[in-house]
Amino acid sequence: MSQVVVVGMQWGDEGKGKIIDLLAEQADITVRFQGGNNAGHTIVVNGKKHIFHLIPSGILRDGKMCCIGNGVVIDPEVLLGEIDRLKTYGIEINPHKLCISERAHVIMPYHKRIDIAREKKKGEKRIGTTGRGIGPCYEDKAARTGFRIIDLLEKETFLRKLEERIEEKNFYLTQYLHDEPVSFKEIADTYTKYGEILKPYVGNVSQLLWQARDKERNILFEGAQGTHLDIDHGTYPYVTSSNTIAGNVCGGAGFPITAINTIIGVCKAYTTRVGGGPFLTELKGNLGDHLREKGGEYGATTGRPRRCGWLDLIAVKQSICLNGVQELAITKLDVLTGLKEIKICIGYQYNGKKMEFLPVETDMFNKCDPIYETLSGWEEELQADWNSLPKAAKDYLDYINQFTGVPLSIISIGPNREQTILLKNPFEKDV
């Protein structure tokens, strides 16, 4: 029996979906515990690409249970669309395979409208949100004015609360954001219908997980986004609206921290981020374009091109501390193949002083200079076998291991399941 958490070490898009899909083979339950459909996990199975925004990646494994925890904010339209899309691939979704927390909050149409209108109003000062209504939904959750999944199942209560919310949201939309109002009737009709469809899937996820633990089942917790997009510990305000670190498994799934066995940090072999915010190792010329094209660095959710740069081990090491990471999974190592030399950021310099942690102040962060270590590249195509890796590739991985002090457990050298080197399996004592 093992309870394993998988989280991102950078600014998201680290390839967590593939790692989760790989580990889900031995997990009885896969759980998503934060974020919304602003996240995108891409998995390639038998040449077919699957993109998930809300349903845990483990859904592709036969006979497995998937849960959406209370820490997730759910757009019912997106969720039902994912269920329908999976059915077209012959993957049947039923209440024995998917459980949605009754406590999870619901993204409403006015959340999305507010999200988009705010960004438009900010102009050049916009943060770069996905416009999916994630932030405004979490705002209402904190203000205790949000709707939970359970509310959609209680029609009279839902309609009464909706009438109160619509008055407030329409005032804000029309008077401050100068946008069009939303329709009470349209939302009422649509969301009560959503409630009827989703009702069979709704349950007490926390209780389900406690019972699974007592029965010695393997549980895999799936993080979305990355550590440096955490609302508290990320590069604020260029962050997401939830806690992305491993500790949020407790709040976002209602699962005790003392029951967690292993925390795996997923780290891309280089660094990317989407939207605004500081990025010291960013490559803006031909080399950055090369990494973007070879790595297919375009958002699974928005299609936006990702900013690309060298691996920042200062950011990774801070993520290790924040999450309590015990093992590292390195992804997209193959993208670096063909480069004559590869740089790794091992420190920041600010006014002649070396820094070993990310500055909290954005202006200070932007004024730092990266300190690089340069390693030799390799030309050989990578194979899914540790012994066959080129010496330069092994040296690169060994450097990451030595600098962070964390052992590497998984190496991904391509998008397919079989393009993986498994050095240690968290669900087994020995591999």
The residues annotated as belonging to the active site are 13, 41
Phi, psi (5° rounding) for residue 384? -80, 55
Q: Which residue has the tokens 């939302």?
A: 187
In Å, the largest CA–CA distance within the chain is 66
How far apart are the C-alpha atoms of 307 and 38, rounded to whole Å?
17
Instruction: Give the integer Cα–Cα distance in Å for 19 and 262.
Output: 14
Per DSSP, the three-state class of 385 is coil
Peptide bond before 200: cis, by omega within 30 degrees of 0?
Answer: no
Task: Tell how strand 353-355 and strand 369-376 pair up.
Answer: unpaired
C-alpha closest to that of 16 among 329, 400, 411 = 329
| DSSP E strand stretches across 332-412 | 341-350, 353-355, 369-376, 408-412
> Strands 408-412 and 327-331: what pairing?
parallel
DSSP string, 56-72: -GGGGSTT-EEEE-TTB
**Nearest one of 28, 99, 22 to 63, comparing CA atoms:** 28
The CA R_g of the chain, rounded to the nearest whole Å, is 22
Decide: 99 and 284 in contact? Cβ < 8 Å: no
Nearest Cα residue to 67 out of 108, 32, 18: 32
Could you tell me the two tokens for 317? 């090491």
DSSP 199: G
**What's the token pair of residue 183?**
């329709």
Report how far residue 24's alpha carbon sits from residue 6's, in angstroms, rounded to the nearest whole number: 11
Give the phi and the psi of residue 378 in degrees, each rounded to 5.
-145, 155
